[in-house]
Amino acid sequence: MPERLRLATRKSALALAQSTWVKEQIEARWPGVEVELVRVVTKGDKILDVPLAKVGGKGLFVKEIEEALLRGEADLAVHSLKDVPAETPEGLEVSVFPRREDPRDALVARPGLTLETLPEGARVGTSSLRRMAQLRLRRPDLEIHSLRGNLDTRLRKLDEGAFDAILLAVAGLRRLGLADRITEVVDAGVLLPAVGQGALGIELRSNDPRTREILAPLADTATATCVRAERAFLARLEGGCQVPIGGLARLDGDRLSMEGLVADEAGRRIVRRNAEGPAADAARIGRDLADEILEAGGREILAEVYGHA
């Protein structure tokens, strides 16, 4: 009898692609282990007609999955790390980070177009406040419209002519074999990605050493260091999905550098700062960067967006 692990997954094409990839990685390294996918529907999957920022609440795609883990109906779950809140519930941990995909955003438009060369007044679809704010700063002439749904839906709306361009994460497109739709990989200096973008986070019960042992070979140290800094940054800002926050850490040898920003959704005010230091101090670097941004005006922006002083 093979040893069985149950992997809780959402049913979206991206979630299934990511979960299947992890299943294959585990089974390739552990010939005696079989991974079974357990499908779970989350609140974020059900509410598709309202902009995500208005639905509110952190971790719209994560809660039901975590409940399945806590009830023991599944042993692990694979998340797009950027959808995972900074705080993990008692008894669970998001602690295994496979090697990160490209963290940047992609422009999908007619071939040859870039953010710079989009015609004046072009219609751009995105529901991410982070993307909106940075886009408005760079190209105030563009018309930005809300766009939700899974990747296929968004690409279809573009193809039907509802938009001249849309913005998506490079990583999701690559994982679905849709990289040929990318017309420009946007520099992080222009569109700073979301914290954790392009990375997977694997969640398990803290008291399950066997699952942790099985997952250990999938972990990538450099990715873990970068996301530690980014998630410490996010935790300090108490970032929910209603606030345009960006953060990206990079590792060069044992030096970590990180860039972060907080913006208001109109893109009128944007506070952007850099930090660097030894990789061993990743969490402190992320926290200090958040504090610096809060001091430099980020606190007022967050207070306004959250609607309290």
**Interatomic CA distance for residues 118 and 109, integer angstroms:** 9
Asked whether the CA dihedral 131, 132, 133, 137 is positive or negative, the reply is positive
Tell me the three state secondary structure of residue 141: coil
* Annotated active-site residue in 49, 75, 83, 252: 83
| Cβ nearer to ligand PBG, comparing 168 with 251 | 168
Q: What mask of x and - would describe binding to ligand PBG in positions 36 to 75, judged by CB under 6 A?
A: ----------------------------------------
* Shortest CB 124 distance to ligand PBG, Å: 14
* Shortest CB 101 distance to ligand PBG, Å: 7
Alpha-carbon Rg for the chain, nearest whole angstrom, is: 19
Binding of ligand PBG by 197 (CB under 6 A): yes
Tell me the three state secondary structure of residue 256: strand
* Shortest CB 10 distance to ligand PBG, Å: 10
CB contact at 8 A, 266 and 134: no
Phi (first) and psi of residue 106, to 5 degrees: -120, 140
Name the residue whose CB lies closest to ligand PBG.
Answer: 172
Binding of ligand PBG by 288 (CB under 6 A): no
Verify whether residue 164 is a known catalytic residue.
no
**DSSP-assigned letter for residue 235:** H
Instruction: Pick one of 85, 98, 172, 201: the residue that binds ligand PBG (CB under 6 A).
Output: 172
**Interatomic CA distance for residues 172 and 21, integer angstroms:** 13
What positions carry a catalytic annotation? 83
Binding stretches for ligand PBG (CB under 6 A): 80, 82-83, 168-169, 171-172, 197-198
